[in-house]
């Protein structure tokens, strides 16, 4: 079982968002260097958005109920999703992205965007292939590549360089592509920093991918929540896009529909077809009744999205101001999405221990930077889609704890 | 992309249940030897049960709605499923199977039993391992083994041998185990034949698995719908069970909850832990709100299951009598579940073509035997969880078509 155990050793979930409860149960904290007293306050889980603070899109439960009463036809869709849902979603996404999407051949509905990512990567690489991943980027990207026994090549992103671009090292990316890569996978806006790639960056990535025949997965999960009217470029709509590419998006974040587990991948028909074959053995389909909920997506009441974005802007600004006021902390303000990824000064404990200590002493959960790339030993990620006051208080408590560990 | 394409060539879904609509769209029928006129009647899709004829368990939608209103705590469960749901399900399954299940470490809630199968196999084998699969058995078992690049070894089952056992060749199984196998995966009741393994068969499998250190996956998906008060043996409750084993079950079949995509795997804690790690990158979790629906499972109103079983017995008997009356057709009556797997006489067309022709001429969908093992070139599978009259009429039409193709 050596090959198997080796593979799973790389798939740790203990520090993954949402798993903190199990970690607590495993008594991993027993050797922690815990300093000082507990600071009480409302527990806040920054590892994901709070769908109680920002409720699911209006009408989502009603559409689910409608789907339930449709009966067997809704329960047993094709593996790539029901034809009606695929048509609906293709229409709104074609309009949203500017890419024309053929509902019959170029789209698949999946159990969440995680499902889409898994199916996409599983359909685009084989073991030994080189997969290019940004540092920092979504933690599961690396784990997926490990699971499929790919070789991971990192490309770096200097997200503190300028607020007008993501800061990806395009020279490094070209060198990597030139040396032979099968797939480049990245999130835009970037998870965990909330940086949007500039038009020039996106256009360069497309051109390089086409030139060196590298397939692309573009994760646009948080692309609808754009602040300060920043410009966003959909790579899938560019003329220079490569032949093999898939775009991933879903209603779990800004729209708070995570409890229904819905995601979408659209792009090259040959890849979508392979994704469906894989879906057939992975989980058959996104839950049939849940697929009916897609009907509310991109059809929100007038003003709904603008208001939601505005509320998030306010929380973001308050948190950024608070963090920036602390000596030794750097943070880039979020362009889009609900993440912040501050850098801390040197502490007496590792970032993973710090995160555990903070949870123990304050009831506040954040995700350690090392989940997003091995070099991020001084960062943590928060999802600030939370009750505003609870979030601000929680960060206050975290900062008090931080001072207890600041290196002299 | 050779390794990748090769892998996906083995993952065909065109003949898989539920995909017939796409097949039709692909004009695969253009070269069919179509004889005679269309016979009209109510379209029946025997590839899966009809949840309109046999409705979802009472209260399931209500529990979903309750779950939705619980909010964030229900939307974002641990990857292995919410603690409350795991406790509920462990309690009823411990009672049902006689195996003690620790809700914290020995159970995972999955997106359908397909999800459970995928996670289990992915957590128990690595490429090159030998996986033993029954002929005939559930079509996805072979595809999963192919996807994980395992070596498939077939063990045969003479399901016409006796109605008191499944007919698995235990001598052959021991020879295979002795030659070195990593995993044995089988469904009980068997899909597609509906045969129940006898107590002696199950006990022998357990003993052999332990003796030769072979891991087990036992798929008990249809084990609650047992006819004629037959005896059913849960391998997981036997003293002689092997160290590494997982049992799979879910509420998608008899309980008609397929539209919620819910499944369960329970067993060895080290395997369950790996399954959770895999779930974290495959689809995160079974849809959070859907998990709330587990509350109705095994808590049906008094008499509900007995009545559902009785109704299926009546349909089964009518279909078996009808099929047995036709010269050249053999069929084993179902011990449990809703499948029949008749053997046909020689026809002028292949079974895959016959299935396509039947659908074209009668609107009746059945699954070709070759999905369940390459040798089943004269068989098809039906799921008779259907409206009774529609099902009987549909089989009448199929039989008329069959006569048009009977070899002289």
- In order, the DSSP letters of B56-114 are PPTTHHHHHHHHHHHTHHHHS--TT--HHHHHHHHHHHHHHHS----TTTSEEEESHHH
* Shortest Cα distance, chain B CAs vs residue A284, angstroms: 7
Per-residue pLDDT tens over the stretch A152-169: 999 999 999 999 999 999
Count contacts between A and B (CB, < 8 Å).
202
Sequence-ordered strand ranges (E) for A47-193: 107-110, 130-135, 151-156, 183-187
Query: For residue B382, which phi and psi values (nearest 5 degrees)?
Result: -125, 145
pLDDT, residue A18, reads 64
Contacting residues of A for B296, CB less than 8 Å apart: none
* Shortest Cα distance, chain B CAs vs residue A170, angstroms: 25
The 3-state DSSP class for residue B213 equals coil
Mutate to test the interface with B, among A75, A128, A271 (most CBs of B within 10 A): A75
Does the structure show a pLDDT above 80 at A13?
no
What is the ipTM metric for this complex?
0.96
Task: Check A287 against B61: CB less than 8 A apart.
Answer: no
The 3-state DSSP class for residue A62 equals helix
Task: Check A8 against B277: CB less than 8 A apart.
Answer: yes
Task: Check A76 against B281: CB less than 8 A apart.
Answer: no
pLDDT, residue A173, reads 98
Per-residue pLDDT tens over the stretch A61-100: 999 999 999 999 999 999 999 999 999 999 999 999 999 9
Q: Which residue of B has its CA nearest to A22?
A: B78
Contacting residues of A for B281, CB less than 8 Å apart: 11, 114, 117-118, 140, 143-144, 147
Task: Check A258 against B75: CB less than 8 A apart.
Answer: yes
Report whether A170 contacts A197 (CB < 8 A): no
pLDDT, residue B22, reads 67
Task: Flag whether residue B293 sits within 8 Å of chain A, measured between CB atoms.
Answer: no
- Positive or negative: CA dihedral A23, A29, A35, A41: positive
The ranges of chain B with pLDDT < 70 are: 1, 13-18, 20-30
Mutate to test the interface with A, among B152, B282, B296, B371 (most CBs of A within 10 A): B282
Task: Flag whether residue A16 sits within 8 Å of chain B, measured between CB atoms.
Answer: yes
Alpha-carbon distance B133 to B117, whole Å? Answer: 13
Higher per-residue pLDDT: A28 or A103: A103
Alpha-carbon distance B208 to B240, whole Å? Answer: 9
Per the rule left: phi > 0, alpha: psi between -120 and 50, beta: everything else, B128 is left
Q: In Å, what is the CA distance from B370 to each residue of A196, A393, B12, B185, B378?
A: 50, 62, 12, 18, 8
Closest partner residue to A289 (CB to CB) among B111, B260, B284 is: B260
Computed on alpha carbons and rounded to an integer, the radius of gyration of chain A in Å comes to 21
Interface subset of A 218-277, CB within 8 angstroms of B: 258-261, 274, 276-277
Report whether A60 contacts A88 (CB < 8 A): no
Q: Which residue of B has its CA nearest to A21?
A: B78
pLDDT, residue A23, reads 62
Mutate to test the interface with A, among B72, B253, B263 (most CBs of A within 10 A): B72
pLDDT, residue A15, reads 65
Contacting residues of A for B110, CB less than 8 Å apart: 283
Q: Which residue of A has its CA nearest to B213?
A: A1
Report whether B157 contacts B190 (CB < 8 A): yes
> Angle of helix B269-282 relative to helix B112-124, nearest 10 degrees?
110
Percent of chain A exceeding pLDDT 70 equals: 96
Report which secondary-structure segment, H or E, holds B154. Answer: strand B151-156
Contacting residues of A for B65, CB less than 8 Å apart: 61, 65
The 3-state DSSP class for residue B47 equals coil
H-type helices in B287-387, by residue range? 288-291, 304-324, 351-362
pLDDT, residue B23, reads 62
Task: Flag whether residue A11 sits within 8 Å of chain B, measured between CB atoms.
Answer: yes
Does the structure show a pLDDT above 70 at A26?
no
DSSP bridge partners of B364: B44
Report whether B275 contacts B263 (CB < 8 A): no
Per-residue pLDDT tens over the stretch A377-406: 999 999 999 999 999 999 999 999 999 999
The 3-state DSSP class for residue B377 equals coil
pLDDT, residue B5, reads 84
């Amino acid at each position: 079982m050596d090959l198997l155990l080796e593979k799973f050793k790389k798939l740790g979930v203990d520090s993954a968002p949402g798993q903190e409860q199990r970690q607590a149960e495993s008594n991993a904290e027993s050797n922690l260097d815990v300093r000082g007293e507990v600071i009480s306050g409302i527990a806040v889980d920054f590892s994901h958005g709070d769908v109680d603070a920002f409720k699911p899109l209006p009408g989502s439960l009603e559409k689910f109920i409608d789907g339930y009463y449709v009966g067997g036809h809704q329960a047993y869709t094709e593996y790539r999703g029901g034809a009606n849902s695929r048509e609906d979603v293709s229409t709104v996404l074609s309009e949203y992205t500017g890419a024309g999407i053929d509902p019959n051949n170029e789209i698949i509905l999946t159990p969440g965007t995680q499902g889409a990512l898994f199916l996409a990567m599983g359909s685009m690489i084989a073991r030994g292939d080189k997969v290019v991943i940004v540092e920092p980027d979504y933690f599961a990207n690396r784990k997926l590549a490990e699971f499929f026994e790919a070789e991971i090549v990192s490309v770096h992103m200097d997200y503190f360089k300028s607020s007008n671009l993501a800061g990806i090292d395009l020279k490094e990316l070209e060198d990597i592509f030139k040396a032979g890569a099968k797939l480049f996978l990245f999130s835009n806006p970037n998870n965990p920093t909330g940086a949007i790639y500039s038009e020039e960056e996106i256009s360069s990535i497309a051109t390089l991918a086409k030139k060196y025949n590298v397939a692309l997965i573009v994760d646009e999960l948080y692309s609808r929540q754009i602040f300060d009217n920043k410009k966003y470029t959909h790579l899938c709509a560019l003329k220079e896009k490569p032949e093999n590419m898939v775009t991933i998006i879903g209603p779990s974040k800004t729209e708070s529909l995570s409890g229904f587990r819905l995601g979408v991948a659209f792009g090259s028909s040959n890849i979508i077809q392979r994704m469906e074959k894989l879906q057939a053995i992975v989980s058959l389909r996104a839950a049939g009744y849940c697929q009916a909920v897609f009907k509310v997506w991109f059809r929100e009441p007038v003003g709904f999205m603008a208001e939601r974005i505005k509320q998030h802007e306010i929380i973001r600004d308050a948190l950024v101001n608070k963090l920036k006021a602390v000596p030794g902390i750097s943070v880039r303000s979020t362009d889009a999405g609900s993440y912040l990824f501050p850098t801390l000064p040197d502490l007496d404990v590792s970032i993973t221990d710090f995160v555990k200590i903070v949870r123990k002493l304050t009831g506040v959960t954040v995700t350690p930077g090392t989940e997003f790339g091995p070099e991020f030993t001084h960062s943590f990620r928060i999802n600030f889609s939370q009750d505003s006051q609870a979030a601000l208080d929680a960060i206050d408590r975290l900062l008090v704890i931080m001072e207890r560990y600041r290196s002299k």
